[in-house]
Amino acid sequence: MATEPLPLQKPAAAAPRDAVPATAPRAAPETGPPLVRFDDVVKRYGDHVVLDRLNFSVRRGEHVTLIGPSGSGKTTILRLLMTLEKVSDGVIWVDGSPLSHVAAPDGSLKPASEKHLREARKKIGMVFQQFNLFPNMNVLRNITEAPVNVLGMDRAEAEDRARELLDLVGLSGKIDAHPSQLSGGQQQRVAIARALAMRPEILLLDEVTSALDPELVAGVLDLLSDIARNTDITMVCVTHEMNFARDVSKKVLMFDAGHVVESGPPEKIFSDPEHERTRAFLDAVL
């Protein structure tokens, strides 16, 4: 479905943040420093501990899938990364900077202001299970709203880019439609285009096919595989769709009760899991 060339690679010095000298060189996934690092991250809701001193990292350009039983904290990880929620303890590092903290002069880390968070999250995009398109805007406005108002992109330029992205997701004909006129699969494609329009370095995918009718799942998965293959966007996915984990990701992390039980390439995890917990989970879902 993907038409080439894909309009996804970042043109040099297009987005404002590209004008700032990069802090870290673009390194190959296997060697560079981690782009995302969870450092003893704890998340509690009242007495209920969802994540208990979680440590894991994702390298630039890596496509990581988080699997595990419901309630194991996978979605919470994405929500913390998107700063939709605050960590109870520990620090998340993105590109060498603390995500939801700022360093005080004495070197200690203090919780960041909402304004700082808004800046920090520009690097990160998210696609939601329930799409969350803006129902009061047509498809074009859904995609251009943030580039124009957050990145300060020229409206004509943002619309050109939206057209390219709609082409990529196979919905060129729906540019004037409202979300309520689209199927679930189409809405999710628009949501993917909307997230990509912000040129994120990290794309978070939260159960993006769970709310779709079965016959619409494959199309969205194909699209995401294309994006994974043809871009350098770092992807972190939560899914129950094991095909997705196999096709899209290079690394699978198995979670249980707020911990990483096991991690490795999908072939390894799916065919020869080391842990009993992983085996039991895979037996149940496959």
CA distance 199 to 124: 9
Is the N-terminal amide bond of 5 cis, ω within 30° of 0? Answer: yes
Please give the distance of CA 215 from its chain centroid, rounded to a whole number. 23
Pairing of strands 251-256, 63-67: parallel
In the bound state with other proteins, the residue whose beta carbon lies nearer, of 112 and 254, is: 112
245 contacts 239 by C-beta, under 8 angstroms: yes
Q: Which amino acid is at 243?
A: N
Q: Are strands 89-94 and 97-98 parallel, antiparallel or unpaired?
A: antiparallel
Tokens encoding 229? 């293959």
C-beta of residue 166 within 8 angstroms of C-beta of residue 174: yes
Comparing CB distances to other proteins, the nearer of 44 and 118 is 118
Q: How far apart are CA 248 and CA 237, in angstroms?
A: 9
Place of tokens 């709310």: 211
Residue 15 binds other proteins (CB under 8 A):
no
Least distance in angstroms from the C-beta of 138 to other proteins: 13
Residue 126 as a binder of other proteins (CB under 8 A): the answer is yes
Q: What is the DSSP string of 167-181?
A: HHTT-GGGTT--GGG
Match 């050109």 to its residue by tokens.
160
Give the nearest distance from C-beta 132 to other proteins in angstroms.
4
198-227 binders of other proteins (CB under 8 A): 198
Per-position x/- string for 50-89, each x denoting binding to other proteins as judged by CB under 8 A, each - no binding: --------------------------------xxx-----
Which residue in 35, 58, 66, 133 binds other proteins (CB under 8 A)?
Answer: 133
- Report CA-CA distances (Å) from 86 to 78, 211, 279: 11, 26, 32
Over the window 137 to 166, marking each residue x when it contacts other proteins by CB under 8 A and - when it does not, the resulting string is x-------xx--xx----------------
Instruction: Report if residue 45 touches other proteins, rule: CB under 8 A.
Output: no
Rounded to a whole number of angstroms, the minimum distance from the CB of residue 281 to other proteins is: 28
x-or-dash string of contact with other proteins, 165-194, rule CB under 8 A:
-----------------------------x
Using the rule CB under 8 A, which residue among 16, 44, 55, 134 binds other proteins? 134
By beta-carbon proximity to other proteins, the closer residue of 233 and 269 is 233
Residues that bind other proteins (CB under 8 A): 82-84, 118-119, 121-122, 124-126, 128, 130, 132-137, 145-146, 149-150, 194-195, 198
